[in-house]
Amino acid sequence: MADPILVTGGVRVPASALTIHAVRASGPGGQNVNKVATKIDLRVDLAAIEGLSEAARARLRALARNRQDAAGRLVVTSQATRSQAENLEAARARVADLIRAVLVEPRRRVETRPSAGTRRRRLAGKKRRASVKRGRARPDQGD
């Protein structure tokens, strides 16, 4: 059985929420790639993660939306190295990083309006650009 993933002091992924499969990796590696299952397929039950607030859990679901299997588990794969143990650690680290990212509550954007000077400079730049383009146009043919 796998060890739990400790994200922070209060947040952890219990071992029961992890499903680990070792499969054969793709890519170069000679005979080794055909014999040894070094690629790690780590699946995490998002509902079983302990210590997450509901807001953080919702952010995690949104962030992991495209990386879920049919059962709603987060799927993380790693085949960066030829070592199964190193790939497992890399996958576990990616899960921890993902969870750490959702623990930080995003700052709300304060809506502001552009100043009059900014608006004036923007329009002046647009007029300059339009005149440059007008200068490149073919002169009208007089009939």
Domain boundaries, given as residue ranges, for the chain: 5-103
Q: Give the CATH number of domain 5-103; options: 3.40.605.10, 3.30.160.20, 2.120.10.70, 3.20.10.10.
A: 3.30.160.20
User: Any alpha helices (H) in 104-140, and if so which ranges?
Assistant: 116-136
pLDDT in tens, 2-52: 788 888 888 888 889 888 888 888 877 677 777 888 889 999 998 888 888
Mean pLDDT of 105-114: 93
Instruction: pLDDT band for 92, please (50, 70, 90 cuts).
Output: very high
Q: What pairs with residue 43 in β-bridges? A: 19, 75
The whole-angstrom separation of Cα 138 and Cα 48 is 69
Strands 12-13 and 18-23 turn out to be unpaired
> What's the pLDDT at 25?
83
Please answer whether residues 52 and 11 qualify as being in contact, where contact means their C-beta atoms are separated by less than 8 angstroms. yes
For the whole model, what pTM was predicted?
0.71
Q: Which residue has the tokens 């993380």?
A: 76
Give the gyration radius of the chain's Cα atoms.
26
> What's the pLDDT at 43?
92
The whole-angstrom separation of Cα 100 and Cα 60 is 10
Q: What pairs with residue 39 in β-bridges? A: 23
Residue 72 predicted with pLDDT over 70: yes
**Mean pLDDT over each residue of the chain, to the nearest integer:** 88
